[in-house]
Structure 1
Amino acid sequence: MKGTPSFGKMNKNKTHIRCRRCGRHSFNVSKGYCVACGYGRSKRMRRYSWQNKKSWTRQRLR
């Protein structure tokens, strides 16, 4: 069987479980690391500058 009926079988098993470091439901079981905090892949917390809005963009134009 292929096509549309096959897509119904895609939600049977869990891809992500709760992460033991950040607590979010984003630990990939098959890959073995958390996509939110990077647990299982690195010792440091996963964070980037583009996650937060820059402070100069919040200032009012004059």
Structure 2
Amino acid sequence: MSFGRRNQEEIVTEETKIWVCKADDCKCWVRDNFKSSAVPTCPICKSDMEQTTRVLEVINNPGKHS
């Protein structure tokens, strides 16, 4: 018997577009499908952000239309 072990769902990941803060002392990033404008500014320090990609868990944004 194994106590405390549950069948866990496999975590689905994919290469995801994100925006990363350009400020050296800020580690903020935002998923592309959660950004608030075409070219977002950092919500933490208000610096410019640049687009890149990361392999992340898939999360859908039901409020955002593709």
**TM over 0.5: same fold?**
no
Higher normalized helix content (fraction of residues): 1
* Larger Rg over CA atoms: 1
| Higher RCO (C-alpha 8 Å, min separation 6) | 2
TM-score using structure 2 length:
0.27
